[in-house]
A and B are shown apart, each in its own frame.
Chain A
Amino acid sequence: MTSTPDDVLVVDHLVRRFGDFTAVDDVSFRIAPGETYGLLGPNGAGKTTAISVIAGLLKADGGSVTIAGETMRPDAVSVKRHIGLVPQDLALYPDLSARENLVFFAKLYGLRGKELASRVDEVLETIGLADRAKDLSKEYSGGMKRRLNIGVGLLHRPTLLILDEPTVGVDPQSRNSILEAVEALSGEGMAVLYTTHYMEEAERLCDRIGIIDTGQLRAEGTRDELIRLTGGTDTIRLGGRVDTTGQEEAARSMRTLHGVERVDADRHSLSLTVHDAPTLVAEVVRMAAEAGMKLTDVEISRPDLESVFLHVTGKALRD
């Protein structure tokens, strides 16, 4: 792992054990300013334990966590000013309104007076709860509670925002709202550590992704870097009707295209294994038409993080 002095978070050979069980096993990664880093792994992979150590809730049994140049420990105080934690479980006071929850936590972050009032108003706008600010949080929907849960972590404009599975149990509309909020924060330059077991969230939000399983970081990189680990080939499937001669002619001409590795034919379709399917699909369709194929459908399949996870761990992400 290469880190730079500007890195917001440096996790170096982190180890955390519970008795004989090693929940986090020699995990290292870093996050640069403005970068969104995703920890992708199934339930029980060690994501929440890793985050608990990073946020200073648990002591590390080995390795270190450095945030904005300061070492994180459970008893450290000043380094915690750099982080905003959004825990997986809702961490709100149900008998307080959204505004009261935010004001309470803002005071604990050291905000006072006009700064506190204006920051609370800003956060209420950001999470879309300004019009329900006076309602008790226990009266909110699950999605609204999730948004308020995130809002608490934003109050002091942290250098590093840590989101632990923030969309678990949320309806699609609220989920999209949360993802948009995270994208906006990242766009403002905030470093984000985002854990999830939803690959589509990781693909949408994260600049870099760490694949974690059984406490170990199995692979790390950008989406494309991870895809390349699988061999990086796409599939184009052409469905339709054609006679045998035409099909053989089409397959022969397609194999001459740069980027096509293999062409398989069956009675009603052609299946091409290619590099970078989007740039080839138009030419492939033209060749099929010239060979007399009457196309009924064209389907492009690209490898995703699910494929990557399967490739590096030997099991499916949802297992």
Chain B
Amino acid sequence: MSTLLTLVAQGLRQGLRDKTVILFGFVVPLVLMFVFNLVFGDTDEREFEPLTVAVGAQAGDQMVGVVTDVLGDLDSETLDVTVVEVDPDESRAMVADGDAGLAIVFPDNFGGAAQMGTPTTVDVRRGEDAGVEADVVLSVVDGILQQFGDAATTARAGLAEGLDAEQLAQVAQASVEGAGYAIEEGQADDQQLSAGGALVAGQAGLFLLFTVSFGVTALLVERENGTLARLRSLPLPAWQITTAKALVSFLTGMLSTGVLLTAGGFLFGASFGSLIPVALLVASVAAAATSVMFLIARVARTSEQAGVATSIVSIVLGVGGGAFFPISAAGALAGVLDLNPVAALLRGLGITSAGGGVADIGVPVAIMLGFAVVMLLVSRLVPDRGAMA
């Protein structure tokens, strides 16, 4: 066992002295993360502009009051909405003058028409500078009006069924109160990484494949340098030579990915969750990446061939796994994409970043380890043309 440790220590020392390993394992991915973050990284940080909504309606209309109350509730830390109730003409004038971004003008007797389910029109005016904030308000108003329509329909159905006036009033009131809206901050999917987090994780996953390749293709380099023959003439089992290279690849990959996730997370404000589940994910993806490199070392005749094959495999798995941008597919292709260890890493980090623990990352870990097992089996089956021949 001490000879195995000697071989591993030697491999790590060579790796750390190899400027290419440092460059591809740490420097290039960090630089790329920085560049990509400058280009794409502000999508999470959009802030809504303040919006003044001028509501023009007949005074005392209770249904309009419901709408203005709901719009008033939209005002929060995220959405800055100010609702002013004015007469219809003034509301249009405010938009025209730029004093309001949005005017919503209700017709006279809007409340009565809404209660009866009579068709009516609400006039909306957008200001020239109204942005997505106005769209949000309008979608809320649209929802409220839909609720009013549903309530009127419900009331008519009740009337047809012979409900008395008190019962009808309760049903209609329930429908209207059900139209309450509230906005809560949160993520669309609590298992998705933020844009910055996805960028950091994707680049870490992509360059992991390059980093681990240095350990395994070192077998080919050693054969070309003659040191592999010398090692095989020494009194140590042949499996220790191969295992040492695998361990060097695995450890270098873990170190590189760990550093990139930590540094990238710090630089771009991304959090990946608790240490233990993240470490388990990193170890699993490093194992998967190492297994691919063993297959390459088996079929490549020279270190140059191995380098080209590594680049192709890394780009395919990296892009397919969403290292640069999310990839979606349907059917069988979607299933294949799901088996990509880089995609599994990103999915796993999404779970851990949302607070998931070891028990929650079973699927991505199983995908990565399964991938590693399959690659190792395949590497044993293909004819050996490379370093292990």
Residues of A within 8 A of B (CB): 52, 55-57, 74-75, 77-78, 80-81, 83, 85, 87, 89-95, 104-105, 107-110, 152
Contact = CB atoms under 8 A, between A and B. Distances in A.
B3 A87 contact: no
Closest 10 CB pairs of A and B: A91-B230, A89-B226, A91-B226, A80-B235, A85-B233, A81-B235, A107-B6, A55-B233, A91-B227, A108-B234
A16 B41 CA distance: 63
Nearest to B239: A75
Nearest to B6: A107
Q: Interface extent on B, as a size class?
A: 20 to 34
A104 B6 contact: yes
B235 A87 contact: no
A152 B235 contact: no
B233 A80 contact: yes
B230 A56 contact: no
A110 B235 contact: yes
A94 B222 CA distance: 11
A74 B234 contact: no
Interface string B251-269: 0000000000000000000
A110 B231 CA distance: 13
16 contacts: A55-B233, A75-B237, A77-B236, A77-B237, A80-B233, A80-B234, A81-B235, A83-B233, A85-B229, A89-B225, A89-B229, A91-B226, A93-B14, A105-B234, A107-B6, A109-B234
Contacts of B363: none
A95 B17 contact: yes
Residue of B227, B229, B233 with most partner-chain A CB within 10 A: B233
Nearest to B241: A108
B4 to A, nearest CB: 10
Interface in B193-233: 225-227, 229-233
Contact of A90 (B6, B226, B231, B233): B226
A110 B5 CA distance: 12
Interface in B1-55: 2-3, 6-7, 10, 14, 17-18
B238 A57 contact: no
Contacts of B232: 56-57, 74
Contacts of B234: 80, 105, 108-109
Given A92-B227, A104-B10, 9 more contacts: A77-B236, A77-B237, A81-B235, A83-B233, A87-B229, A87-B230, A90-B226, A105-B230, A107-B3
Contact of B3 (A57, A91, A108): A108
Contacts of A74: 232, 238
